Chains A and B, each alone.
Chain A
Amino acid sequence: MDFSSNIASQLNAGTILPEGIVIITLMVILIGDLITGRNSARWLPYVAIAGLLIAVLDLCLLWDLPEPDGFLGSFSSDNLSIVFRGIIALSTAVTIPMSIRYVQQSGTSLAEFIGIMLTATLGGMFLSGANELVTIFISLEMLSISSYLMTGYMKRDPRSNEAALKYLLIGASSSAIFLYGISLLYGLSGGKTNLMAIAANITDVSGTQSLGLAISLVFVIAGIAFKISAVPFHQWTPDVYEGSPTPVVAFLSVGSKAAGFALAIRLLVTAFAPLTEQWHFIFTALAILSMVLGNVVALAQTSMKRMLAYSSIAQAGFVIIGLIAGTDTGYSSMIFYLLVYLFMNLGAFTCVILFSLRTGTDQISEYAGLYHKDPLLTLGLSICLLSLGGIPPLAGFFGKIYLFWAGWQAGIYGLVLLGLVTSVISIYYYIRVVKMMVVKEPSEMSDAVENYPEIRWNLPGMRPLQVGLVVSVVITSLAGILSNPLFTLANDSVTTTPILQSAVVTQQLPQETITVSTQSLESDLDTSH
């Protein structure tokens, strides 16, 4: 007993307690399913949600840890990672209620689905705090492989199979490229795996910045861009979004993306600090392409899920603005945007699921005249889409304003202007759906709406869906007006995270201070060994 507690304190194992809670939940679900069989569907999802919420609660308790590094520096539970882990856990907690009915209706097992989703969540959470190459890669694979499984979960649906295969092939190759990039990084830094150590060692030889380092940067960014589906690494997104089960798409567009951004911040800001100019340049290109292509192509979509796929590409472009700004406000605007994006995007997906459960279609034209049959769904979807389009006073408006504000402050005027123009374009396709639902007269109703089933919330699995819908819609409408706590959270997480602080400082001060600060961090690491 004494021995184990000793080990635990040496490893600082408390840092991964939230993940531990998720693992225990996962175990409970797997074993509970084995014991009680099919009936387990009644209580399993609630156990999962409860587990995730407890994990989020525990994350709150871990705020401002005096000693955030766990497992000999390979996992960091600093405030930045806490926020991102919170976003990922919350996104799963909101996704599960919307998947219950969907999975049951398709006749597949719910427990397995939730199990895989929790595994993916776990991967994402570890990825947000991973501070070392091996941990990063393992958690990335944990997230990716469970995502492949989930996209192909509707075994009898050929489109789901197609999506899974596409996702698997492209995802595996992007993982391989990413792995190649970090292996180069490992070699160039002289065999270091810890990000801080890598940064320090690369800086030492940076007198001759090798081609290898540049290649490694490009490969790493390719891997990250695949996860956040930034153009031109986005080709999988529309097809996978269209074919996969909708709850999975919801998770991919929020949880998985947030994990990708966490990885981007940590890896680029620490390990690639000497190459800041270069990765800023690449990300500027990614942002421009994502905003333009995502928003313009979304205009032409006829399927709701494909439209949301392109819209999520475009949203990633907006978030990158915060990353490129590279200031305190830049990072906190990213976090703030992801927080509100979580609710508005998941809210939109909840509505899409609800509509397809009742009518069996995702075509935008089939939404015509929905206002007359289902006002609640119309209201929810309208609010979420308008918020995605950045219409005040909804949450998305404030998120976008904050991103553009931070970008302007950092002096990247061109990107901000482009962001503003493309977000006006986005208003057009979001409002097109609203127009379909609200403006169309009863005589112009689509067939699907014409035969709209009676609204019944008492079917199994519908109640949680309703709760999820109401919660997301309420948060989307109020989080903007009452966003002060969210702002404070996002700001605090950035200003109290050492890696970002040193990065922000290095951008403003001359080169010498970089080595000083990183060396002092390295000596900290040495003492902890």
Chain B
Amino acid sequence: MESVQIPWLTAITLLPLLAALPIPIIPDKEGKTVRWYALYVALADLALMVYGFWENYSVKSHQFQLAETYSWMPQLGLSWSLGVDGLSMPLIFLSGLITTLAILASWKVNHKPRLYYFLVLVLYSAQIGVFAAQDILLFFLMWEIELVPVYLLISIWGGKKRLYAATKFILYTALASIFILVSGLALAFYGDNFTFNIAELGMKDYPLALELLAYVGFLIAFGVKLPIFPLHTWLPDAHSQASAPISMILAGVLLKMGGYALIRFNIETLPHAHIKFAPLLVALGVINIIYGAFTAFGQTNLKRRLASSSISHMGFVLIGIASFTDLGMNGAVLQMISHGLIAAALFFLSGTAYDRTHTLMMDEMGGMAQKMPKTFALFTAGSMASLALPGMSGFVGELSIFLGIATSDVYSQTFKVGIIFLTSVGLILTPIYLLSMLREVFYGEANTKLKLEGFGIDAQPREIFITACLLIPIIGIGLYPKVATNTYDVKTIQVAEKMRSVFPVIVEKQENNLNASLLSTWQSPGLIAPKIK
């Protein structure tokens, strides 16, 4: 790998953090300078990303590019090692875009503005660091750095139950991230060569028991973040209590850290264990989709409903990465990107509605379409994207995942039919709860008790601009998915190949192969998983 002259990734990762440091001493009146400053920093970083990737990133390679490695703490084996490939590059770009828009969306934050923008910029750096880290200890460090800013951002600028939500968030995530460290240490110390480098970890040969244990550890850690069904309970609280710009970042970027890490560690590093766990992942994915959809029905709070729909959508990612096909992997990454954009748009729009209504309870709203036609139009567009209307990015992502699981040759026919059937049930539920949300909020008679006040009744140009920045890529990807898939195609194909290449090994190792055990009569997917030995 040839060394890059300019340390692009280091610059991209550290710029927001370093720029955050002088915020306390910038001369400022009522947060006006600070917000411009933060916006400029975010834009500069975004520009840096665009230019850096444009000049130096080749979509034809699945290798790590723009890689940099500096020894940081040799005694610990920790190195400042960054690199991007098809998996991380789109996500870094996504975090750049969403954070920049979130800063723009925070224009009206006038409560402790210095602290606010300081924390957002620190969070910005941590997100990019997570996606770019090529050293598992560095990854863990970045993962942990993000905790406190999010905690404070929720607990200071959040809704009524913000303290509860923030504490729940930090305890869940901190407790789960222990497993990253433990699994990482276990893998790093195994064998003769001690290393934290992710690529080198993937090349080691582990005994199956260790792989399975480490896999479980990673699954718990990332399952909390993604979230996966029994570990998801922090999410509706955190996402609904955070202020709209922070919800944008939470739903748009932080959830993707879970999906990204699942692919990076569970699949790339531990492919043997992944074969064992893949049916479980598919089952959990289905549970996520249906459970998320059903809970979304029960929510009367607008943001809680959106949060539940996030749980539902992230289920598709699980199915995609467990499908063992190019198409499924491709769809999983696309689904992450597309959900990042859609969820950010919807959370932002719910924030604009809240700014005017001062309530998030849907039964207190109603008939807002007449007074806020532009907001209504944008909200409808976002909802359509979320329910996977053809021509929008959500459709492409979910369709590839469906195709991936349907064409997958590792699962038995009955299993696949069952999974697809259940998933499509979830798919039918999605439009129902999203349309009913639109109906309750915008259609019908105007609620007389509802007072719309704030900065002009309908959406302002700034707000339309933010939503447009999110909707244009959504539609763009929907019409011509290659825009997005091109950037990571090579990588996902390689990952899928790697997954599949492990199969013969496993088959040889064991008397009864996976196919055979899956061919047994179909039971509920939850029961199948433990049966595979």
Contact present for A393 and B141 (CB under 8 Å): yes
Q: Which residues of A contact B372 (CB under 8 A)?
A: none
| Bound Cα distance from A491 to B76, whole angstroms | 11
| Bound Cα distance from A375 to B114, whole angstroms | 12
Chain B residue at minimal CB-CB distance from A409:
B189
| Bound Cα distance from A56 to B177, whole angstroms | 39
Chain A residue at minimal CB-CB distance from B194:
A409
A487-B144 contact in complex given A408-B185, A424-B171, C-beta closer than 8 Å: no
Chain A proximity mask over B159-184: 1 for CB below 8 Å, otherwise 0: 00001000100110011001001100
Q: Which residues of B contact A375 (CB under 8 A)?
A: 24
Q: What is the interface residue range for chain A against chain B? A: 20 to 34
Contact present for B73 and A487 (CB under 8 Å): yes
| Bound Cα distance from A431 to B175, whole angstroms | 15
Q: Which of B102-110, B147-155, B413-421 contacts A (4 or more CB under 8 A)?
A: B147-155
A438-B156 contact in complex given A398-B73, A420-B178, C-beta closer than 8 Å: yes
Within 8 A of B (CB), among A366-421: 371, 375, 386, 391-393, 397-398, 401-402, 404-405, 408-409, 416-417, 420-421
| Bound Cα distance from A34 to B141, whole angstroms | 54
Contact present for A404 and B73 (CB under 8 Å): no
Main secondary structure of the interface of B (DSSP, over half): helix
| Bound Cα distance from A440 to B76, whole angstroms | 39
Q: Which residues of B contact A446 (CB under 8 A)?
A: none
Contact present for B155 and A435 (CB under 8 Å): yes
| Bound Cα distance from A488 to B175, whole angstroms | 31
Contact present for A391 and B147 (CB under 8 Å): yes
Q: Which residues of B contact A483 (CB under 8 A)?
A: 73
Min CB gap B323→A, angstroms: 34
Q: Which residues of B contact A401 (CB under 8 A)?
A: 76, 137, 181
Contact present for B163 and A439 (CB under 8 Å): yes
Q: Which residues of B contact A421 (CB under 8 A)?
A: 175, 178
| Bound Cα distance from A427 to B170, whole angstroms | 9
Among A375, A416, A434, A435, the most chain B Cβ lie within 10 Å of the Cβ of A435
Q: Which residues of A contact B148 (CB under 8 A)?
A: 386, 391, 431
B145 on the interface (CB 8 Å rule)? Answer: yes
Q: Select one of A398, A416, A439 contacting B152, CB under 8 A.
A: A439
Contact present for A424 and B189 (CB under 8 Å): no
A424-B156 contact in complex given A391-B144, A393-B145, A404-B181, C-beta closer than 8 Å: no
Min CB gap B97→A, angstroms: 25
B115 on the interface (CB 8 Å rule)? Answer: yes
A392-B178 contact in complex given A438-B115, A487-B75, A491-B75, C-beta closer than 8 Å: no
Q: Which residues of B contact A427 (CB under 8 A)?
A: 170, 174
Q: Which residues of A contact B185 (CB under 8 A)?
A: 404-405, 408, 416
A527 on the interface (CB 8 Å rule)? Answer: no
| Bound Cα distance from A487 to B112, whole angstroms | 38
| Bound Cα distance from A421 to B24, whole angstroms | 34
Contact present for A424 and B178 (CB under 8 Å): yes
A428 on the interface (CB 8 Å rule)? Answer: yes
Chain A residue at minimal CB-CB distance from B167:
A428
Contact present for B115 and A397 (CB under 8 Å): no
Q: Which residues of A contact B73 (CB under 8 A)?
A: 398, 483-484, 487
Q: Which residues of A contact B178 (CB under 8 A)?
A: 417, 420-421, 424
Within 8 A of A (CB), among B182-226: 182, 185-186, 189
Min CB gap B386→A, angstroms: 32
Q: Which residues of A contact B137 (CB under 8 A)?
A: 401
Q: Which residues of A contact B170 (CB under 8 A)?
A: 427-428, 431
Contact present for A424 and B175 (CB under 8 Å): yes
Q: Select one of A397, A420, A439, A487 contacting B182, CB under 8 A.
A: A420
Q: Select one of A391, A397, A409, A439 contacting B155, CB under 8 A.
A: A439
Chain A residue at minimal CB-CB distance from B185:
A408
| Bound Cα distance from A427 to B141, whole angstroms | 15
A397-B156 contact in complex given A424-B171, A428-B171, A483-B73, C-beta closer than 8 Å: no
Chain B proximity mask over A417-454: 1 for CB below 8 Å, otherwise 0: 10011001001100100110011000000000000000
| Bound Cα distance from A417 to B174, whole angstroms | 14
Contact present for B76 and A435 (CB under 8 Å): no
Q: Which residues of B contact A404 (CB under 8 A)?
A: 181, 185
Chain A proximity mask over B72-113: 1 for CB below 8 Å, otherwise 0: 111110000000000000000000000000000000000010
| Bound Cα distance from A329 to B75, whole angstroms | 9
Min CB gap A341→B, angstroms: 17
Min CB gap B125→A, angstroms: 10
Min CB gap A365→B, angstroms: 14
Contact present for B174 and A424 (CB under 8 Å): yes
| Bound Cα distance from A96 to B178, whole angstroms | 38
Min CB gap B207→A, angstroms: 16
Q: Which residues of A contact B141 (CB under 8 A)?
A: 392-393, 397
Min CB gap B71→A, angstroms: 9
| Bound Cα distance from A439 to B112, whole angstroms | 10
Chain B residue at minimal CB-CB distance from A376:
B24
Q: Which residues of A contact B189 (CB under 8 A)?
A: 408-409
| Bound Cα distance from A424 to B74, whole angstroms | 26
| Bound Cα distance from A306 to B163, whole angstroms | 24
| Bound Cα distance from A329 to B73, whole angstroms | 13
Min CB gap B326→A, angstroms: 37
| Bound Cα distance from A491 to B152, whole angstroms | 37
| Bound Cα distance from A434 to B185, whole angstroms | 30
Q: Which residues of B contact A332 (CB under 8 A)?
A: 75
Q: Which residues of B contact A386 (CB under 8 A)?
A: 148
| Bound Cα distance from A488 to B73, whole angstroms | 9
Chain A residue at minimal CB-CB distance from B145:
A392
Please name the 6 residue pairs, one residue from A and one from B, whose CB atoms are nearest each other, closest first.
A487-B75, A420-B178, A408-B185, A392-B141, A424-B174, A392-B144
Q: List 29 A-B contacts (CB under 8 A).
A: A329-B75, A371-B112, A371-B115, A386-B148, A391-B145, A392-B144, A393-B145, A397-B141, A398-B73, A398-B76, A401-B76, A402-B75, A402-B76, A405-B76, A408-B185, A408-B186, A424-B171, A424-B178, A427-B174, A428-B170, A428-B171, A431-B170, A438-B115, A438-B152, A438-B156, A439-B156, A483-B73, A487-B76, A491-B75
Residues of B within 8 A of A (CB): 24, 72-76, 112, 115, 137, 141, 144-145, 147-148, 151-152, 155-156, 163, 167, 170-171, 174-175, 178, 181-182, 185-186, 189
- 12 additional A-B pairs beyond A401-B181, A405-B76, A408-B185, beta carbons within 8 Å, are A332-B75, A391-B145, A392-B141, A398-B76, A402-B75, A402-B76, A420-B178, A420-B181, A421-B178, A431-B151, A484-B72, A487-B73
